[in-house]
Structure 1
Amino acid sequence: MGLAEGTSTLAPAQIRKTATVTVGLLMGVWVIDYVDRVMMAVALPFIGEEFALTKTEQGWLITAFSLVYLLCQVPGGILADKFGARRQLMVSLLLWSVFTALTGIAWGLASLLVIRALFGVGQGLFPGASFKAIAERTTPAVRATAAGAMLASNQLGAGVAPLIVAPLILALGWRHTFWVTAAAGVAIGVLLWKLLPKALPAHLNGSDVVQDKGTGLGAVMRSPSVWKFAALFCTTNMLGYGLITWVPSYLLEERGISLINTGVMSAIPGLVACATVFLGGWLFDHFFHDRVRLYVIPLLLVTAVLLVLMLMADSAVGFTVYQTLAMGVAGLSSMGILGMPVRALPPAVIGSGMGVVNVGGQVAGVLAPVLMGFLVDKFSYTAAFGLLIATTVLGALIALIVPQRPEQFSLGTKELA
């Protein structure tokens, strides 16, 4: 009998197909997700010029989204756990496509702030639902690899966005560019609705792990392990948000690179990181699922060294080479940071659990754009990028206290016999 009939016994090929199709569809949505986010960074110099915005005000356009996105993580995870992934994925995608389109009709800073905040609501419902979809449609043994593939598309989106957005802005203007990407979001949403497979049976995806009395969301919120990984994700995610937001402006303004060349140079690090995030999930599943500190700490320290070399580079090419290496190594570490909670949390609470972890990551999204914008206004781009070195080293220190193995991940759960 087939998956659509809800049987409890599936052939290995069917299990693999379910995981593959799910990951492929979610990768497509995450790519659109990140194109929609990164395009604001590419458009910032033009938006700033049109509305006479300071760098700090431009940073607030990113932070307004990030703050609301952060606040929606836990509610989004709770809703995904309660109602399932499929419907919420669609609602999220359609909402953010609407507000992407509305960005193109903004008339000033205030309207942009409101629209980007509402855009954050649409996108904020998505991560918890996507992790829920992965948990329901994969086995625990390959879950970090699947999540790594899905999250690698973040970097793919970040990489291809400048290549797509820069020519579109030159050809159509920044306003029309937002309308084009909104239409792409609607199209991928239709595909997701039609093609997303049904969930695997409970004994295959781990849903037969049940919560002890008195646990659930409360246990997630009280778990020290969840909050340790949230703190770790916060410090390390400063790097991604900081570079995505400010490297395009830096290359245009400080290095005198053309918009098209800026798009190409901004794309390269993201594309490399896409491959390393995927590789990181595979390495974690196969070799480091019970040695997360040994995996994460050296990679973060190497990343910090590469960022120092990036700041010391005397050319735009040298800057991009070291940025690419830094983001590549950081990409490897990311699935040690996210792979442990993805592997350890039961599917019944993975939406809310990963929502809490992602809150930490999105605190970085709130802080990095505006703090770095402030540092550029008051000091220099060197000071702004220096902040990222400090937060990466802090992440390595926090990694010293995270649990090493899934069984150390406290949540108060037990398996059914």
Structure 2
Amino acid sequence: MSETTARKPQEGQSGALRLTKSVAIVSLIVLAGSYVINAMDRQVFSVLVPHIREEFGFSLGQGGLLATIFTLGIGLAGVPTGYLLDRLSRKAVMLLGIVIYSAFTVLTAVSVGFFDMFAYRALSGVGEAMQNAALFSAVGAYFFANRALALGSLNFAYGLGSFFGPLLGANMTTATGEWRTPFWVYGAIGFGFALLILVAIKKTFTEQRDGGPGEATPRSYDHVPAALLNKNIVLLAVTAVVVGLAMYGYLGLYPTYLQEELGLSTGDAGLAVSMFGIGALAGLPAGWLGDRLNQRTVMIVALLAGSVVGYLLFNGPTTAGWQIFLSFAEGAIASGFLFVNIYSSMQRAVRPIMIGRASGLYVASFYVPAAIAGYLFSALVESTGWGGAGLWQLAVLPLAGVVALLFVDVSQFSNARRVEVH
């Protein structure tokens, strides 16, 4: 973009004014900041499971279920949120989502037993789904030409939250002797971001419907299937199911494995889990590669690498140093490469008018199965041991995603061609 162009609003094909480049980047940073606290809320619970189990007497299965049940709320709210985005502004849906999950994060701290904690964690996921779908739709539409890179920046924010959430949560718990403290703090920060977005973010950024800023050459979408449920999006949804089950099987009970099986301290376990978040920072280069290489190939290679890392997490080295490294690698592959590229691929698998619904479908495909991932992993642990659970859920299962991706046709993605202008 030229300096002259950057100083004045642009007009896309829809006729909507566009922000200057600097304002758009600042808007992206603010919204990404709100996603940091979303990730902090999600990831802190698993590292606190041993403390919560000790106070309430929950079983390993109950702890695993509570650690991942928020994904049920995310998944069930995904598709309705996609349709809600067709009727309300993305900004409104985003704000409502942040307020909802912040409120239920605070309520988690006043739980009195399994069932109300179950409800609070599940309902916090509803808010997280609303923010996720609205945020990724807005950013994906605004930065159309570099969609995977833009979504990678959001995953970078998720990585920061995934790192600082468990680490700070463990430190706050140790310092105060109270596992409830992180929920009070993270909920309050969430409400603060809702107010900031309400005041500072313009709908000019969140409500774009066409290509990226300065898009002068119109695009043809005739090669993209007109239906939402086309072959590509179904195959990508299957891949999302596989990654959700594998990734959240690891996230839900990995801290418990580190502390109860390997004997690591709460601090070391918190650091190892937080390294998953550092690995998720790979979303930026992963998105850059997804925009420039064959995206199907990028995802297949990532799934194969993920199978190896998933196996080693529960069947390989047991020292803290190695576990920290393997957790980092799991974050880079599962959250960095796979989450970003599957999400952007599903948006590309439909025409622009259906981006909101495609985002909702991705959220449902990824998070509904993830809701039972922790419980499934705990059942495998009880029947096959930690090593067997890691083998089947983290090493063998991802191969099903490889098979599904072999049949994806990237020539039907919405970024494949432009209209010839004579």
**TM-score exceeds 0.5:** yes
2:47 to 23, 42, 57: 42
C-alpha distance in 2 between matches for 1:363 and 1:401: 23
TM-aligned CA distance change 1:211 to 1:312, over 3 Å:
closer
2: CA distance between counterparts of 1:119 and 1:332? 26
- Corresponding residue of 2:171: 167
Give the secondary structure class of the aligned counterpart of 2:380.
helix
Secondary structure of 2:11 counterpart = coil
**2:320 equivalent in structure 1:** 316
CA offsets 1:199-249 (integer angstroms, 9 cap, x no match): 36656448x88999xx98xx32x3222221111111123332122211211
Aligned to 1:292: 295
**Structure 2-normalised TM-score?**
0.86
Structure 2 partner of 1:257: 264
Match of 2:58, SS?
A: coil
Which position in structure 2 is the counterpart of 1:55? 60
CA RMSD of aligned residues (A): 3.2
Query: Cα 1:5–1:348, aligned 2, differ >3 Å: closer, same or farther?
Result: farther
- Post-superposition shift, 1:23? 2.4
Contact kept, 8 Å, 1:231 with 1:398, in 2: the verdict is yes
More displaced, 161-170 or 388-397? 388-397
Correspondence 1:86 to 2:91: yes
Q: Distance in 1 between matches of 2:52 and 2:148?
A: 39
Structural mapping, 1:102-141, within 5 Å: 102-138=107-143, 140-141=144-145
Determine the C-alpha separation between the residues in 2 that align with 1:153 and 1:227. Answer: 28
Partners in 1 of 2:97 and 2:5 — Cα distance? Answer: 29
**1:100-127 CA deviation, whole Å, 9 max, x = no partner?**
0000111011111122222122222122
The equivalent of 2:104 in structure 1 is 99
Which one of 146, 150, 153 corresponds to residue 154 of structure 2?
150
Q: Answer whether contact 1:341 1:354 (CA < 8 A) is retained.
A: yes
C-alpha spacing 1:128/1:73, structure 2 compared with 1 (3 Å): same
1:391 counterpart = 2:394: no
Whose helix proportion is higher, 1 or 2? 1
More displaced 10-residue stretch of structure 1: 88-97 or 351-360? 351-360
- Report the AA paired with residue 409 of structure 2: P
Q: Is the Cα contact below 8 Å between 2:68 and 2:252 reproduced in 1?
A: no
Contact 1:155 / 1:273 at 8 angstroms: preserved in 2? yes
CA positional deviation for 1:329 = 3.3
Once the two structures are overlaid, the 10-residue window that deviates more, 33-42 or 376-385, is: 376-385
- Counterpart of 2:33 (choices 19, 22, 28) is 28
Aligned length: 403
1:308 and 1:108 map into 2 onto residues whose CA distance is 34
TM norm structure 1: 0.87
Q: Give how far 1:97 is off.
A: 0.6
Separation (CA, whole Å) in 2 of partners of 1:163 and 1:120: 21
Distance in 2 between residues matched to 1:383 and 1:71, nearest whole Å? 30
1:45-78 Cα offsets, whole Å, 9 max, x none, are 1111111111111122134322222110011111
Tell me, which stretches of 5 or more residues in structure 1 are unaligned? none
Whether 1:17 aligns to 2:26 is no
* 2:90–2:138 contact (8 Å) kept in structure 1: yes
Structure 2 unaligned segments of length 5 or more: list them: none
Structure 1 residue 368 displacement after superposition: 1.1
2:289 corresponds to: 283
Counterpart of 1:356, as a letter, is L
Q: How does 1:301-312 map to 2 (within 5 A)?
A: 301-310=304-313, 311-312=315-316
Please say if 1:228 is aligned against 2:231.
no
